[in-house]
Amino acid sequence: MAYSAPISPSLSFFKNPQLTRLSFPFSPLYSRPRVQNPSLLTKNKTWSSSVVVAATAAEKQKKRYPGESKGFVEEMRFVAMRLHTKEQAPKEGEKETKAPEERPVAKWEPTVEGYLRFLVDSKLVYDTLEGIIHQSTFPTYAEFKNTGLERAEKLDTDLKWFKEQGYEIPEPTDTGKKYSQYLKDLADKDPPSFICHFYNIYFAHSAGGRMIGRKVAERILDNRELEFYKWDGDLSGLLQNVREKLNKVAEEWTREEKNHCLEETEKSFKYSGEILRLILS
C-alpha cells in the first residue's frame, strides 16, 4: 500500500534527510595513465572505498527517525508529544496555547452539562472504534480485540449513573458524529491512519485523560471517580501489550506507510480536541 501525501510543514522533521554526494577535486592520483607507482593506485582505491563505506554508514544513520530505534510506537509518541503545548508537556511540547482546552486544567470552568456532552460524544467514538475492531476480519485490526483498554461499556455505566442522579443524557453532538463517520471511512480505506487514531485515543486517555478526569471530578462531582477512568487489571501491563502489538503491525509497513500514519496525528488531535472542548461548553 503506497501513499503520495507529503509530510506537512509542521512535521517537517520527518522528511527523509538527504546526504549530499561526496565529490573530490581532480588530482593526478585519479588519472590512471599518469600513475607511476601501481601501489599508490591501490592505496587510493582502498581509501576511496573506505570513504564510500563511511558515507553509506553515515547516510543510514542520518535516516533514522526520532524514536525509530525503540519501535514505531515511540515514533508515534514523539510526534504526539510535539503537538502538546509547553504547559501540557514542558519537556517535549512545542505547540502554542490557543484553544480553551489547551489551557491548564486548573483554569478550566467545567459544567456538568458540558461534561455530559463530552462523555456522550466520547462513548460514540469508543463505540465506533471498538465496533470496527470487533467486527472486522482484517488481520491488522484483529490484533486489537479485547485488549483491556476498551471504554464503551465503562462510559455506558457512567451515563446510567448520571441518569439516576436526575440528569438528562443528551444526544451526540455533530462533533462526535463527524468524528465517528471519519473513523469508519478510514477503517475501510486507510488502515495506517485508522491505527494512528486508535493509538492516540486510547493512550491519551490513559495519561492526560485521567488527569483531566480527576480535576473535573474535583470541581463538579465531589471527587467521584467515574468508571471511564478505571481499568480491570494493571494498566501499565495492558498498555505495554498494546504497544507490542502496534509495533508488530507496523513492522509490515513500508517507511512511506509509517510516515502516512504519523501525518494523521494532527487530525487525531484536532478531532479529540473538539470533543474535549465540550467540557467547557
Task: Give DSSP secondary structure letters for 212-251.
Answer: HHHHHHHHHSTTPPPGGG--SS-HHHHHHHHHHHHHHHHT
Q: Is the pLDDT score of 211 beyond 60?
A: yes
Q: Is the residue at 8 inside a domain?
A: no
- pLDDT for the residue 83: 92
Contact call for residues 108 and 215 (beta carbons, < 8 A): yes
Q: Give the model's confidence band at 56: pLDDT under 50 very low, under 70 low, under 90 confident, else very high.
A: low
CATH number at residue 127: 1.20.910.10
Q: What range defines the domain where residue 255 resides?
A: 112-279
DSSP 3-state assignment of 149?
Answer: coil
Give domain status of residue 3, yes or no: no
In a domain, 244, yes or no: yes
Helices (runs of H) and strands (runs of E) counted in the chain:
11, 0
* Domain contains 116: yes
Residue 98 — pLDDT band, cuts 50, 70, 90? Answer: confident
Does residue 62 sit within a domain?
no
Q: Is the pLDDT of residue 270 over 90?
A: yes
Segment among 33-37, 183-187, 189-193 with least mean pLDDT: 33-37
If pLDDT is split at 50, 70 and 90, which confidence band does 61 have?
low
Query: Model confidence over 22-35: pLDDT tens digits?
Result: 333 333 333 344 44
In a domain, 152, yes or no: yes
Q: Which residues contact 218 (CB under 8 A, 6 or more apart)?
A: none
Taking alpha carbons only, the member of 275, 251, 234, 265 closest to residue 149 is 234
Closest CA to 220 of 135, 169, 164, 162: 162
- pLDDT for position 105: 81
Look at residue 134 and tell me if it is in a domain. Answer: yes
Q: What does the pLDDT average to over 217-236?
A: 97
What mean pLDDT is reported for the chain?
84
What phi and psi, each to the nearest 5 degrees, are found at residue 95?
Answer: -80, 145
Kindly state the average pLDDT of the residues 231-241.
97
Is the predicted pLDDT of residue 37 greater than 80, yes or no?
Answer: no
Total domains present in the chain: 1
- Determine, yes or no, domain membership for 251: yes
Separation CA 144–CA 195 (nearest Å): 10
Whether pLDDT at 140 is above 70:
yes
Chain centre distance of CA 74: 9
CA within 13 Å, CB half, 154: 16
* Residue 166 pLDDT: 98
